[in-house]
Each structure stands twice: as structure tokens, then as C-alpha cells.
Amino acid sequence: MPKYLVTASYGPEGLKGLMQEGGSKRRAAATAAIESVGGSVDCFYYAFGDDDVVGIVDFPDAASATAVSLMINSTGAVTLSLKPLMTVEEVDAAAAKTPSYRPPGS
């Protein structure tokens, strides 16, 4: 199953909810959303800095990942970003390909 790096930042309303409910309940809510489309959570951490949450999740496909991202971001309480992660073997396979490309103006 494809893996994604998840980063999220709470907006003011999201922070109020986090303070009221606590981290465990917000992790449970995120996990339930991911599992509702057939995904799973590998790890979930709170952090300091630009990102309040970082984690690794599995989604069955890009449409499922997008559905969760759209649903969570549409609330306005949290800004979620997903980045697909690749295995070393997938990078090796990509490096072995020779795509054809003409740069602009050439």
C-alpha cells in the first residue's frame, strides 16, 4: 500500500479543539478518517515548529488519500499536506528509465 508523509498545522479553532479534547482524541479522529477509506496509520506525532503533526500513513490509492485530505482541509481547522513516499527500489526503477524531453526554447 502506498505510504504518505502527513504534515498538519492547526488553525486557531483547531487549536481550541485540541486543547479541549487532548491529543489522543484528535489522533483517534485522524485515524478513523484514514481507516474509513481503507488506510492505516504507521506513526503519528505532535511536533513544535511549522508543523503541529507529522506522521506516516498508508492509503490504498491516491483517490483515497485525496479524499481524506479534502475532507480534513475543508473544515478550516487544520491544514493537512500529504507527500507520497517512495521506496529505494522505486527510485532505482525511476533512475533506470530514460524519458524523452525537449526543454523550452530548444
Helix (H) or strand (E) holding 57: strand 53-58
| pTM recorded for the entire structure | 0.88
pLDDT tens profile 2-27: 999 999 999 999 999 999 999 999 99
pLDDT band at 83 (very low <50, low <70, confident <90, very high): very high
**pLDDT number for residue 106:** 87
Q: Going from the N-terminus, what domains does the chain have, and what CATH number goes with each?
A: 3-86 (3.30.70.260)
pLDDT band at 40 (very low <50, low <70, confident <90, very high): very high
**What sign has the CA pseudo-torsion 18, 23, 24, 26?**
positive
**pLDDT number for residue 23:** 95
pLDDT tens profile 49-75: 999 999 999 999 999 999 999 999 999
For the segment 43-47, the average pLDDT, to the nearest whole number, is: 98
- Amino acid letter for position 70: L
Rounded to the nearest integer, the mean pLDDT of the chain is 96
